Structure 1
Amino acid sequence: MTHHSAEHRSPEMNECIDNCTRCHAICLETISYCLSKGGKHAEPSHIALMSVCADICATSADAMLRGAEVHQYTCGACAEVCRKCADHCASMGEDAEMQRCADICRRCADTCARMAA
């Protein structure tokens, strides 16, 4: 039985887990912000994308934390979804909350892409 803890994982994987965990949290916070703001921010397609992004980030982090060999597939999917979410959030104009979400999504996409390679 292999013990999976932070010191047994590569620094790259630990960084990716941290980014996925933060991206999950920030997407959830940003969904609340968007729903309260209304208008284009609250469009169902935008909320759905951010919701899926939060979910895949949590799933990716969980796969790595469990030491599951399939993490490369979840990370690959996560990188794609995070990129789309980042683009969507960045397209919302000069909005600090949306830019914050876009930034963490991009960071998460970059580390997930490396884990998937």
Structure 2
Amino acid sequence: MEITSAMQDCIDACDNCHQACLQTALTHCLEMGGRHVEPNHFRLMLDCAAVCEMSANLQLSGSRFSSRICALCADICHACALSCLELDGMEECVRACEACEHSCHQMQA
């Protein structure tokens, strides 16, 4: 299986989003407290990091399930971006989620 430039862009977006969500959740959000660690928001950030990592891994392995995971990844990234928009200091996470959502939508098509 050859990795196309579109696939590599999506893998990179997924890797970036995985890192941004995990790092932001475990540093910024924990330090801020309050709404930043509200259970639904915090779990969503960890879910987003996990699905982005899985999406990148399945694309790298050429899995026949990668397009289905990309669809789920796009949905979770969208929800995470909306949740992060409501809080202070979450711009990097929002940008990473939006880029990953866009890229995953392209890959699922």
Shared fold by TM > 0.5?
A: yes
Match of 2:64 in 1: 69
Match of 1:39 in 2: 34
Which secondary structure state, in structure 2, belongs to the residue aligned with residue 69 of structure 1?
coil
Residue correspondence of structure 1 range 1-117 to structure 2 within 5 A = 4=1, 8-32=2-26, 33-92=28-87, 95-96=88-89, 98-117=90-109
In structure 2, stretches of 5+ residues that fail to align are none
The structure that has the greater radius of gyration is 1
Decide whether the 8 Å contact of 2:3 with 2:60 is kept in 1: no
Residues matched between the structures, number? 108
TM-score of the superposed pair, with normalisation by structure 1: 0.89
Separation in 2, partners of 1:29, 1:70: 27
Pairwise CA distance, 1:114: 0.7
Pairwise CA distance, 1:99: 1.0
Pairwise CA distance, 1:91: 1.4
Amino acid at match of 2:104: C
Amino acid at match of 1:24: H
Pairwise CA distance, 1:30: 0.8
Pairwise CA distance, 1:115: 0.6
Pairwise CA distance, 1:83: 0.3
In structure 1, stretches of 5+ residues that fail to align are none
Identity of aligned residues (%): 39
Amino acid at match of 1:65: L
